[in-house]
Structure 1
Amino acid sequence: MSAHTDPIEMLTSDRSWELLGTQELGRLVTHVGETIDIFPVNYVVDGEGILFRTAPGSKLFELTVNTDVLFEVDDHTDTDAWSVIIRGYATALEADADVQRAEAAGLRPWIPTVKRVYVRIAPTSVSGRAFRRSAEPELDGPQEY
């Protein structure tokens, strides 16, 4: 966090990507018609994109109907927290060269299921915020920020 007293800090794109690289679990948000779903997925940062594995099912079906997605990752300590949101589009990798490159990323499922489909999220925007955690300020009187 920066030295100023504002409890919320907007993160740069570089810092957001740096933080994304420290985690393994994110939340994929899909939207088909009037149905919005959220799926936890383990992932790796792949250049300036996100790579995850999946199997045939509702998640993969929804990505074939509408490739527009959100992807969110966060973390916290007792004193700080952060959140990064990626807006982008998700594409199942089909070309042999793309799949081989994805396999080299070392991404493994967290649960004992077969997930042979690699999906890459190509970002159209990345936004991140960091938060300084502390007690709620007094409701009356001047505020620090």
Structure 2
Amino acid sequence: MRCPFCAAEGSQVKDSRASEDDTAIRRRRACGECGGRFTTFERVQLRELTVLKKSGRSVPFNREKLEKSLSLALRKRDVDEAKVARMVSSIIRQLEASGETEIPVDTIGAMALDALKDVDLIAYMRFASVYRDFNEAGDFRSLLDELEADGEK
């Protein structure tokens, strides 16, 4: 592993352990050249996923972008980081299990909405307002009506 501080080749693993959600290995490393310490994560990847954007363009799937979107929707809500990491891991496992390598962005958004609906309805509404491109207050009212029809409060 190349050092992020001095770009020297090879670093020494000082400590390895499972991450909080048991979906990755967390490794503490030290650079033999500059002495810098840093952390890496090793995750299982069943296949390379590509996201098909609405514009027709394909981009590599980015776990951090999904995590950031969910965290933004959950901002100032009482949901811990480990729960967000588990939601992201669950969505990725579902995507990989589908057998498809090119996933439409709408599919990922719908899966994120489903995950948020089970965790926090305010975050669900925040995410839906961006994902469904709300333009007016009536859009929120329609979403609330949908939630009430589904038995959500």
Task: Please give the TM-score of this superposition, normalised by the length of structure 1.
Answer: 0.21
Q: Which has the higher strand share?
A: 1
Task: Please give the TM-score of this superposition, normalised by the length of structure 2.
Answer: 0.21
Q: Which has the higher helix share?
A: 2
